[in-house]
Amino acid sequence: MATGRIVIDVDRCKGCELCLEACPQDVINLGDYFNAKGYRPAVLVDPKHECTGCALCAVVCPDGCITVYRDVPAPRATQVREVALA
């Protein structure tokens, strides 16, 4: 399964809750504090690392406050076969 994480710019977030509704993994909540503008910003709450990096939250964010990072799996090691030359 794909994994990822998001970073939310809490100083720019106005707590519109659109990202909360868009998140299929339900790992975004409103913070229990206020930012400098007086809004409760969205925060990532993902202790089990369930975020897939799907970017739906970033797409719906009207202020572009969310940056998405996807984990890229390491490439598989290629198998080396010995071939006898005749």
Which CATH number goes with the domain that contains 8? 3.30.70.20
Q: Dump pLDDT digits (tens) for 1-53.
A: 789 999 999 999 999 999 999 999 999 999 999 999 999 999 999 999 999 99
- Who wins on pLDDT, 49 or 85? 49
Is residue 55's pLDDT more than 80? yes
Q: pTM for this one?
A: 0.80
Question: How many whole angstroms from its chain centre is CA 67?
Answer: 7
Is residue 75's pLDDT more than 90? no
Number of separate domains in the chain:
1
Q: Is 78 part of a structural domain of the chain?
A: no
Q: Which domain holds residue 29?
A: 4-70
Confirm if 57 and 16 have CB atoms less than 8 A apart. no
Question: What pLDDT score was predicted for residue 22?
Answer: 98
Question: What pLDDT score was predicted for residue 83?
Answer: 63
Q: Is 62 helix (H, G, I), strand (E, B) or coil?
A: coil
Nearest to 16 by CA among 45, 34, 41, 35: 41
Structure tokens at 50: 């369930």
